[in-house]
Structure 1
Amino acid sequence: MNVNELKGQTAHLINLNNINLIMGRNGAGKSRFLRDIEAMISQSNHLFSVRYVSPERAGTFKRDGNVLTAMSNDPSWLRQTRAVNQANNFKAASAMLFREAETLYLRRLASTPEIRMDRTRNFETDRLSKVNQLLTNISLEMGNADFEFRSLADGQTISPDAISSGESEAVALASEILYFFDTIDPTKFNVLLLDEPDVHLHPDLQARLGKLIIAMLDEFNNHADSIAICLSTHSSPLVCSLADSQYVSIGTKNFAVDTVELKPTSAELRKIAPFFGHPLSLSLSEDAALILEGEDDERVWQQAARTSQGRIKVFPVLAGSVDQQGELESFCVDLLGTLYDNPIAFSLRDGDGVIDQPLQHRPPIRRYRLQCYAIENVLLSDPCLAVMGTTWEGFIAAATKWVEENPEHPDKISIHELAGSDDRLRHKKIKKIRQLVCAVLGCKKPWEVVVGQAIGALMNEDIANSNMLVFFLGAEMVSDIIFRNAE
């Protein structure tokens, strides 16, 4: 049973995938959106099997007789108690569901020969191990009468109310996810609505939770057409842990807009994922994404950041082409505001011979065009020549001598043209001879290192003074990116 969209009374989720990420700022209405969908499709229980996991999940992961009685007496009790932002006794119910998941798994094991005959598979390897992959200091073990927590340090049993809130949260969420998969009804469309599952989890745990979901989808891929997991989240580690999966699509929920159109996570998210995937380090270093057109630019800016010893706070993101750069810009325009307060990112394109046509900014993306053909043209600016121990006049002399000594070299004409140029071929393509320029001057450094070192050595006063490197890069870009945090 393949379903392409989910509709609530007002909410509308379009282009479903197996995992559907719903991003949006606080107050955008993500929780209400998911509950609206849950309330509507739960009425069609002959078509759908739906579970909603609320964002504030209280209680202790310990079976509670009162909860068991309530769940047994009223099949709708669990749904009704969780159709809110804050669910009391959530984790106690999760403990009940985990026990049920064990029973369901064992029944499946008994009725599925290919699992039963595989001696490496059992409840501990297929289920408990997945829960324990989320834990670092404790483990969940099968006790004599019930599951119990044990310290990895000394093997002592720990009471459920003594473990950390993050550990309790991780176990409860894992239990909910495992129970969902072990209760899949192949005759219905099965929907799991996870409302901010990242709450109270360390970023590393958030990423591991994403891997758990993917692992379960891999196990149940024969039912892929009847499974949809919808997550509302602010978590960049969770998003990025899912980024490479074929199962994942992403959409943005905005305030007062009740239609979310999902798009598959394609090259855009995979390219930007390393930046989003390290929010703690980035919040400390204040790095900003810098979308670049090619690998050459990436190496230059990596060197510039190193040379500046932390003054240049950028995280180079490789696009690969002008078209991909535009796609990445559009992707970040939609996504950045859902992850960060006061977001900012940059995009730098080659000049490609275009003169005096600045790019329009697309907040929060600030866009720039090099004021030369490409980043290698910067190599001929005075500061870069100084890194190689010479001047423009020194290059002309060295180039003239080199041409005389290498009359048969295939790039002789290009070097001769460059030495005779009155603007250092600023707006022409010199890619073919960029490393040769270094060789002519007897410089053993790669050209990207030369350019990166010159950029990294720029000072704030260079913007006001006559500096050819600033002219080639573009004064606005230098001011905004290199000296973004200068006082």
Structure 2
Amino acid sequence: MRIHELKGETAHLTGLNNINVIMGRNGAGKSRFLRDIEAVNSRSKQLFNLRYVSPERAGSFRRDGNVLTNISTNPDWLRQTRAVNQANQFKEASAMLLRQAETLYLRRLARTPEIRMDAARNFETDRLGKINQLLTNISLEISAEDFEFRSLHEGAPVNPDQISSGESEAVSLATEVIYFFDTIDPAKFNVLLLDEPDVHLHPDLQARLGKLIIAMLDEFKSHSDSIAVCLSTHSCPLVCSLADSSYVSIGTKSFAVDTVELKPTSAELRKVAPFFGHPLSLSLSEDAALILEGEDDERVWQQAGRTSQGRIKVFPVLAGSVDQQAELETFCVNLLDTLYDNPVAFSLRDGDGVVDQPLEHRPPLKRYRLHCYAIENALLTDPCLAVMGTTWEELAAKAIQWAGDNPTHRDSAIVQELVGSADRLRHKKIKNIRQLVCAIVGCKKPWEVVVGQTIGALAKEDLTSSNMLIDFLGAEMIRHIIFRGAA
């Protein structure tokens, strides 16, 4: 049973995939959106098997007799207590669900020969093993009567009240995900609504939770037409851990807009993912994404960052073509405002012979065009020539000699044209001779290193003096990207 949309009283979620990521800023109404969908569709018990996981999940991961009684006597108790932002005794209920998940797995094992005949598969490996992949200091194990936590360092039992909030959160969420999949009803459309599952989780755990969801979908892919996991999040690590999966679509919940259109994760997200998603470096730094057209530009800006010793705070995002650069620009414009309060990103395009036609900014994305044909043209500016230990006059003299010594060389004509050029071929393609220029003047550095080192060495004072490199690259771009935030 494949359903492509979910509707509440006002909420409308379209383009459903197996994993559906809803992003949006605080106050955009993501929680209300999911609860609206849950409230309406949970009434259709013949059509839906639906579970909602609230964003604030209180309690301790231990069995509680009162919770067991409430679950047993009132089939709607669990749903009713979780249809709020802050759910009391959430983790106690999760502990009860893990016991039920064990029973369900054992029943499935008994009726599924291919699982039963595989000696490597059992409840410990298929279920507890997945939970323990989210833990680093403790493990969840089967004891004589129940489940218990054990320290990975001392091997001693650990009271559930003594484990960290993040570990407790991870175990509870993993249990909820596992229980959902183990209670899938193939005759219904099964929906799991996870409201901000990243809350209280370390970024690495957020990423691991994404992998757990994918692993469970892989296990139940024969039922994929009847499964939809919908999660709202602010978490870059969680989104990016899902980015490469074909199961995933993403949409943005905006203020006062109750329709979220989901679209499959794309090449754009996969390219931007390293910038947004690494939990302990880029996503926590002050780097801004810098969308570039090609690998040459990427190498230049990477070198510029190294040379500047961290003063240039950009993360190159490689597009690969003009068309894909436009797609990446649109993707970042739509995504950045859902993640940050004061976002900024940049896009830098080749000049390609276009003169005096600046690009229009698309806030929060600032767009620039080089004031020369391509980044390698900067190699012929005086500052880059100085890095190579030469001057324009010396290059011209050596180029004339080289052309005379190599009259039949395929690039002899353009080298001679360069020498006679009044603007150093500023708006002409010189890709074929960029490394040749280095060789002619006896520079052993790759041209990208030369240009990158020169950019990285720029000082703010260069903006007010005559500097050919800044003229070729564009003063506004240099001011906003290289000296961003400088006094």
Q: Same fold (TM over 0.5)?
A: yes
| CA deviations over 1:207-260 (Å, ceiling 9, x no partner) | 000000000000000001000000000000000000000000000001110000
Tell me the residue number matched to 2:318: 318
Tell me the residue number matched to 2:357: 357
Tell me the residue number matched to 1:384: 384
Q: 3-state DSSP class of the match of 1:21?
A: strand
Please give the TM-score of this superposition, normalised by the length of structure 1.
0.99
Tell me the residue number matched to 1:451: 451
**How far apart are residue 280 of structure 1 and its match?**
4.6
Letter in 1 for 2:278: H
- Do residues 40 (structure 1) and 37 (structure 2) align? no
Spell out structure 1 runs of 4+ moving beyond 2 A.
Answer: 278-285
Tell me the residue number matched to 1:30: 30
| CA deviations over 1:114-136 (Å, ceiling 9, x no partner) | 11111110001100000000000
Percent of aligned pairs with the same amino acid:
79
8 Å CA contact retained: 2:134, 2:208: yes
Tell me the residue number matched to 1:191: 191
Q: Distance in 2 between matches of 1:73 and 1:284?
A: 47
Tell me the residue number matched to 1:273: 273
| CA deviations over 1:273-300 (Å, ceiling 9, x no partner) | 0000135534664111100000000000
Tell me the residue number matched to 1:375: 375
| CA deviations over 1:343-377 (Å, ceiling 9, x no partner) | 10100000011110100100110000000000011
* Structure 2 counterparts to residues 37-186 of structure 1, below 5 A: 37-186=37-186
Q: Distance in 2 between matches of 1:404 and 1:486?
A: 48
Letter in 1 for 2:289: A
Letter in 2 for 1:238: L
Letter in 2 for 1:191: V
Tell me the residue number matched to 2:426: 426
8 Å CA contact retained: 2:251, 2:261: yes
* Structure 2 counterparts to residues 329-348 of structure 1, below 5 A: 329-348=329-348
* Structure 2 counterparts to residues 156-305 of structure 1, below 5 A: 156-278=156-278, 280-282=280-282, 285-305=285-305
| CA deviations over 1:192-219 (Å, ceiling 9, x no partner) | 0000000000000000000000000000
Letter in 1 for 2:478: V
Q: Distance in 1 between matches of 2:42 and 2:53?
A: 14
Q: 3-state DSSP class of the match of 1:462?
A: helix
Q: 3-state DSSP class of the match of 2:281?
A: helix
| CA deviations over 1:304-363 (Å, ceiling 9, x no partner) | 000011111101110111111111111111111111120101000000111101001001
* Structure 2 counterparts to residues 468-479 of structure 1, below 5 A: 468-479=468-479
**How far apart are residue 403 of structure 1 and its match?**
0.5
Q: Distance in 2 between matches of 1:315 and 1:434?
A: 25
Q: Distance in 2 between matches of 1:113 and 1:151?
A: 35
- Do residues 405 (structure 1) and 401 (structure 2) align? no
Q: 3-state DSSP class of the match of 2:317?
A: strand
| CA deviations over 1:359-397 (Å, ceiling 9, x no partner) | 010011000000000001111011111111111111100
Tell me the residue number matched to 1:18: 18
8 Å CA contact retained: 2:346, 2:367: yes
| CA deviations over 1:423-452 (Å, ceiling 9, x no partner) | 011001111111111111111111100000
8 Å CA contact retained: 2:5, 2:12: yes
Letter in 2 for 1:419: V
Please give the TM-score of this superposition, normalised by the length of structure 2.
0.99
State which drifts further: 278-287 or 450-459.
278-287
Please, which runs of 5 or more residues in structure 1 have no aligned partner? Answer: none
Letter in 1 for 2:233: T
| CA deviations over 1:438-483 (Å, ceiling 9, x no partner) | 1111111111000000000100011110000000000000000000
Please, which runs of 5 or more residues in structure 2 have no aligned partner? Answer: none
Tell me the residue number matched to 1:308: 308
Q: Distance in 1 between matches of 2:292 and 2:216?
A: 36
| CA deviations over 1:119-154 (Å, ceiling 9, x no partner) | 110001100000000000000000000000000001
Q: Distance in 2 between matches of 1:298 and 1:166?
A: 37
